[in-house]
Structure 1
């Protein structure tokens, strides 16, 4: 297993658990510079993180809390927000406090620096990676791509079917796959829709004559777009009382690949509270150069090319 995983994925591994319960193994981990994880339980008044190592206390000094804290390019909220959550770290020293209790001096910054050097700096556009959602904003989702290093996934890259807010697809803490969309000045941008299948792959799950579930995504003068899957929507004729965001039951009239269209009839709608499920991925590889969404023979070309 790689050590450069999103924070929280190492903490319950047997190797990590065993290490936190043995001073001898902790000492070995210090010598090896091994990346470990444990729960941050307190952030003190000086913004040092107190970490529960099981057999002893660990302290991450404020300036070691994250890349950029020391230089002032990252705000202290990056440290404070880790309380009651797993943090990765390298043990840099052992010391004794004023009460004679032994504790470990830790550095999250050094773990992140190693992750950057040995993993993230080698990523290229089109690489498919593991990520974990850390927080959601109107404009996109932020995801941990390794050792607490976060990248942005803009809202328009989450799925082909448009959404109002990332919470319609993700929850904080959800483990996902993502594609490296761009790398500019060391800043990584993520995409997601290319992993959710082409128009044809999604349409193959439906047949004309079926009545299926959907979500009303937008209501226009000429009809309503209803999402049948995150990467697939159909167009229905307008119907009184239909509003964006409602759950719908729809009858599939026809599926027309050459026009990339699904014609549907709205049978009923009702208000709906989103409960995002783990995404279904059609891509199982670790890299894609090109994603062709539109079906063969369709006059409209919809694709993503990763340079």
Structure 2
């Protein structure tokens, strides 16, 4: 810079701006501001990292994804095979996608990313959490083998043993295979019973999930049930002493004696699994979580109308149901049986009823006594004899067990 006194002289430039800050300090401040800008805060990626990335470009063989690194990362086609064709076709620029870092940087400086491993990583974490908390999860059956079902959980393959699936029969192998084939492409509610990520091992149980669900429903049902209620149910199993009925999340027992007003020797005579039935609630044991049910209490007791339907001297048709030393019992209708005393089986003296009748044999008989209040009926095979001629039954019981 020249001066008025010496036009050839120069002066150095000022080392401060008008605000008193040095140029050096200003430059340093600008650099610090640049470096502290979040837009320039790049991530240092390493193998195993997962991140939500933004799709920048969709190509036929790869995706270009911004994960906040110095350069955009790439997802090769081989790393997104777990995506269904329709899901892959739906990917668009700007979509957010979870990715897993397979390689932090290739020779072009780009990170190699994987959608498949990201889904697996997230799925393993969720499965571990479900295992620890005991939560029930949903999974689709994708295939099966000799031992059970194969399911897919967002890139993690799990195994459900056949013994842990309620819908697979325990019969011949051919039936099991048929049952499993039928379940492919269906969704199951499952519980994780074993998980080992290092061995890539995931074992699940549908049976436990169903049982837990039923227990929860049963607790709720027990609270809302009352003795005397009538419910619609389905026979779930049949055994020697009765039948179990599912009444909407809980099984109750219908004892053999509560199946029918008629004599029933075995529940299988009148009931089979899958039958729909009306049941009355007899009792509820909250502590033991047991429900006693009755089928016959939902029907009118036959003896209440017996006095209207039957009279002395009437000829009725029946079926021999049981033999005893003193006579035979014949069912006239469901819930009403009569006793044919041995003395009323013919004109000749016999030693045992089996000489004249047998179980299951149809007969015609004449009513010689009727007592609806005591649920007793006396019958005679002598169709043309007078009532008074029938031998008095006295205290002969109405059935061989001594019950009225």
TM-score under structure 2 length normalisation: 0.39
Structure 1 or 2: more helix by fraction = 2
TM-score under structure 1 length normalisation: 0.49
Structure 1 or 2: more strand by fraction = 1
State the structure with more CA Rg: 2
